[in-house]
Amino acid sequence: MSARGTCVPAPLRRLWPGGRQIGAAASAALLAPFFALLLIVFLYPLLSLLSSSFLEPQPTLANYRRVFDNPVYLRVMLRTGWISLLTTLLALVLGFPIAYMMTKIKGMAAVLLTACVLLPLWSSVLVRTAAWIVLLRRDGLVNDALQWLGLTRRPLTLLYTEGAVVLAMAHVLLPFLILPIYSALKNIPEDCLRAAAMLGANRRRTFFEVLLPLSRAGVCSGCLMVFLPALGFFVTPALIGSPQQLMIATLVSQQVREMLDWPFAAALVGVLMLAVAALALVFNKAVSFNRLIGGGA
């Protein structure tokens, strides 16, 4: 292989059918359409939007000061972080046992459980959110079941509450947490668990001192894949929440569609992007990037 070919990074080196490796120029040519599409449909519109937040027409930070000076907008940002955190915790509580069961069961039961995890990804977020509206409304299935069991005398207000928003968002994002945890648990050698049992560790101690530490990469990556999208969630909070559960994505939509204040909406987007970038760096410190992506133990 030529010296030029040896300079190609390992992830970019591929073999032709004849056994020759693709050079740097060929790799760049193959990747060019992707990067061109990324530049045209994502980076350029995003940079144009962000530039409008501090260029109107002279450079100014007034829109960003407005975000932090007004207590209403600060409450919206804090509420967004709080709801996203609750969504992540609920998804973790629900998702970890499912991921663990996926590593233990075999046969048709494993196929059915995997299908239950993956099939929701084939339906739109709007459909799944509408299903929660049917379940949680005053004459819905949940209220009917509670009254039939004698737990309540009258329908409860379950819809348009913070709990409904958290529950629906956790349901929508749950597969993105289960799959990385499943990958991490699947890569844990059975010898580690058997060794812990032979050394006298009970199930609780084995879980907290062996299983959980070895699955940290999958847990961290799954929480990251739930928390960050939850920060920018729009459809579910808009349909199930109330003005008391206003989140930053809904606020951006209001500023664009109703107030026609594009510079301030762009400032809100900029603040959200900075928060996402900061959180991603924190997670990257906790788990190395290659393990974060792979979800390995």
Average pLDDT over every residue of 231-243: 87
Task: Take residue 254 and report the two structure tokens written for it.
Answer: 């209001």
Instruction: Compute the distance between CA of residue 168 and CA of residue 85 in angstroms, rounded to an integer.
Output: 14
Question: Is there a contact between 238 and 27 (Cβ–Cβ < 8 Å)?
Answer: no
The three-state secondary structure class of 55 is strand
Predicted local distance difference test score (pLDDT) of residue 151: 86
Predicted local distance difference test score (pLDDT) of residue 196: 83
Instruction: Compute the distance between CA of residue 186 and CA of residue 211 in angstroms, rounded to an integer.
Output: 11
Measure the CA dihedral 200/202/204/206, to 10°.
Answer: 50
Taking only the tens place, the pLDDT of each residue in 252-279 is 888 888 888 888 888 998 888 888 888 8
CATH superfamily of 71-294: MetI-like (1.10.3720.10)
Tally of CB atoms within 10 A around 51: 14
Tally of CB atoms within 10 A around 222: 30
Confidence of residue 6 (pLDDT cuts 50, 70, 90): very low
Taking only the tens place, the pLDDT of each residue in 142-189 is 888 988 988 888 888 888 889 999 999 999 999 999 999 999 998 888
Residue 227: in which H helix or E strand, if any?
helix 216-231
Instruction: Compute the distance between CA of residue 100 and CA of residue 222 in angstroms, rounded to an integer.
Output: 14
With a cut of 90, say whether residue 94 has pLDDT above it: yes
Going from N- to C-terminal start, the domains of the chain cover 1-40, 71-294
Confidence of residue 44 (pLDDT cuts 50, 70, 90): confident
Taking only the tens place, the pLDDT of each residue in 45-83 is 888 888 888 876 777 888 888 888 888 888 999 999 999
Predicted local distance difference test score (pLDDT) of residue 49: 82
Average pLDDT over every residue of 194-206: 83
User: Is omega for the bond preceding 229 within 30 degrees of 0, making it cis?
Assistant: no
Among the listed residues 131, 109, 134, 107, the one whose alpha carbon sits nearest the alpha carbon of residue 120: 131
Cα distance between the two ends of the chain: 35
Average pLDDT over every residue of 119-148: 88
Q: What is the DSSP string of 177-199?
A: HHHHHHHHHHTS-HHHHHHHHHT
